[in-house]
């Protein structure tokens, strides 16, 4: 499957787990089959935009957030900002704020 399908699936999984939802619960809330949710999360299926819209609504996430930086150019080097984005998107809002405060403190020491 495509690289984009895998990234999108990982994002959906990250948001689902951050909300404490099982694949079955997300399927129930979105009106999709649990097997289909699993296939999307693993990047095995190209989901329709309608399915992604239903899943995003069930996760209370905008489509623009799910697709943000999705088509960023790829090269042979690691894309650290994208990896950071993926890492943070899997965390709860409180965890994100805590990590951000840590980064700010680390940056203060770098400047000295």
Give the span between the Cα atoms of 71 and 53, in whole angstroms.
18
**Fold entry, domain 3-111:** 434 Repressor (Amino-terminal Domain) (1.10.260)
pLDDT in tens, 42-51: 999 999 999 9
Asked if residue 55 lies in contact with residue 37, where contact means CB atoms within 8 angstroms, the answer is yes
The confidence score (pLDDT) of residue 76 equals: 56
First to last CA, the chain: 47
Q: Full-prediction pTM beyond 0.75?
A: no
Mapped onto helix, strand or coil, the DSSP state of residue 22 is coil
How far apart CA 65 and CA 103 sit, in angstroms, is 22
Q: Give 38-96 pLDDT, tens digit per residue.
A: 999 999 999 999 999 999 999 999 998 888 877 665 555 667 777 788 788 778 888 99
Cα 16 from chain centre = 9
Cα torsion through 5, 56, 42, 86, rounded to 10: 80
Residue 26 has pLDDT above 70, yes or no: yes
């Amino acid at each position: 499957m495509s690289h984009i399908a895998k990234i999108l699936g990982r994002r959906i999984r990250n948001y689902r787990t951050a909300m404490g939802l099982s694949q079955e619960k997300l399927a129930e809330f979105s009106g999709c089959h649990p097997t289909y949710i699993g296939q999307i999360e693993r990047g095995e299926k190209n989901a329709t935009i309608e399915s992604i819209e239903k899943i995003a609504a069930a996760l209370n996430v905008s489509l623009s957030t799910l697709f943000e930086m999705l088509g960023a150019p790829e090269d042979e080097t690691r894309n650290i900002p994208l990896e950071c984005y993926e890492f943070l998107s899997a965390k709860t809002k409180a965890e994100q704020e805590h990590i951000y405060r840590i980064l700010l403190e680390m940056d203060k020491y770098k400047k000295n």
